[in-house]
Amino acid sequence: MPHKRIASIDLLRGLVMVIMALDHVRMYFGLGTWYSDPTNLAETTPLLFFTRWITHFCAPAFVLLAGTSAFLHGMKLSDTKALSRFLLIRGLWLVFVELVIVNFAWTFDITYSYRILQVIWAIGISMVVLSALVFLPIRVIVAIGLILVFGHSLLDPIKAYGAFPKDILWYVLHQDHTLLGKTTVSFHYPVLPWIGLMALGYALGTFYVPTFEEAKRRHGLLWMGIGATGLFLLLRGFNLYGEPIPWTDQSSSMFTVFSFLNTTKYPPSLHFLLMTIGPALISLSLSERWSNRITSPFVVFGKVPFFFYIVHLYLIHALAMVAMVRAGRDWHEYILSAVGIRSGRLMNFGLGLDAVYVIWILLVVALYPLCRWYQRYREKNPSKWWLSYL
């Protein structure tokens, strides 16, 4: 019997993919965005801060649901060994995709002088680890996930600054760092907390087995989401454990709220994960009965997230090059080599946020028929094993 997809999971995943596209359009089309931080309260505006902050929900939800999807995929396979083999191969494939396909989409630099290790990298490494964890009981997987999510902040005081193998290993595991040189490597997604989150997402898959009652699942998701959100408010409100940067009173009440919400993403602090995963779980609970003309396009995007991710990066970068030419400049300026990005040449290029939002909406609309076509192609060709890796 064919495996039935979970519409609420596809809906949430599609929604975060669309929101993610907003951040990427902002990066390529916003004025001077490669050299500014929209969460820097000394420089940002309310709309700019919100435009960046809302996209914080994307990576945690995507990683969590990747773990859940791994569990659901395992239900279709013959045994745990088959699932482990699938996760290992897919994880290694995603690492390759990040290093070769995604990095080129970001930079268009054939020399690969600027390498950025981001969410696809983190998901790939997490899947490789999960390929070993799946042999453990679910309770043990949950315990490992909780230890990594709640305990990784204890490692914050440990810092590395060199380029020795032990330093690089630490950047991979826990410290956001950029190694400068002829080839620049940015370790933006240290993997320890993401491994923990994927493990918890895998355990969450048990809520979607056929014998699990729908009402019990919705109730459980809702209260876990409320619990995570409440814990975030408690820890953040009193500046307790789990976030390296405390919130402080600002010049206005709005910016004080921004300070409260301005948690650390690289690597994701405990506060960051609680702030984002709590609402994601609540959304999963409430959206089980949402099915209408408004939600259906997001479900389509959620069914083909990898395809959406790759295509939208190449399309955004290519369109930014067109905008560069229309501005009377050389399109080569948007080849982001290590030297080029450090030169500051894009400081005076870009558009206002109103134009960014318009481009974002047009991009999403343009991607829908392409994603719909690919979704139908996958559904009509279930025997093509390689489609499960795309």
Q: Taking the CA atoms of the chain, what radius of gyration do you get in angstroms?
A: 21
User: Whole-angstrom Cα distance, residue 338 to residue 220?
Assistant: 47
- For 206-220, the pLDDT digits (tens) are 999 999 999 999 999
Where the chain has pLDDT below 50, the residues are 1-2
Predicted pLDDT of residue 2: 44
Cα 236 vs. chain centroid, distance in angstroms?
22
Q: 211-218, long-range: CB within 8 Å, 24+ apart, which pairs? A: 214/288, 217/285, 217/288, 218/285, 218/286, 218/288
Phi-psi region of 333 (alpha: psi -120 to 50; beta: other; left: phi over 0): alpha
Cis? peptide before 244, omega within 30° of 0: no
Buried b (16+ CB within 10 A) or exposed e, 231-249: bbeebbeeeeebbeeebee
Beta strand 184-187 with 177-179 is: antiparallel
pLDDT at residue 3, as a whole number = 55
Residues 162 and 140: their CA atoms lie apart, in Å, by 35
How far is Cα 103 from Cα 212, in angstroms, rounded to an integer?
A: 41
Q: Which residues pair with 351 in a beta bridge?
A: 30
Query: Which segments within the chain are labelled E, that is strand?
Result: 114-117, 177-179, 184-187
Amino acid found at 256: T
Distance CA 136, CA 112 (A): 39
What is d(CA 86, CA 84) in angstroms, rounded to the nearest whole number? 5
Q: What is the pLDDT of residue 1?
A: 38
Which token pair is 210? 């056929």
Report the amino acid identity of residue 341.
I
In angstroms, the CA 117 to CA 75 distance is 31
Q: Are 101 and 310 in contact (CB under 8 A)?
A: yes
Q: Region of 124 please: left (phi>0), alpha (psi -120 to 50) or beta.
A: alpha
Element (H or E) spanning 101, and its range? none
Alpha helices in 238-352 (DSSP H): 253-261, 270-286, 296-303, 305-326, 338-342
Name the nearest CA neighbour of 183 among 103, 250, 242: 103
Closest CA to 51 of 86, 81, 80, 27: 27
Average pLDDT, the chain: 95
Angle at 198 between CA 289 and CA 383, to 5 degrees: 70
pLDDT-above-70 percentage for the chain: 99
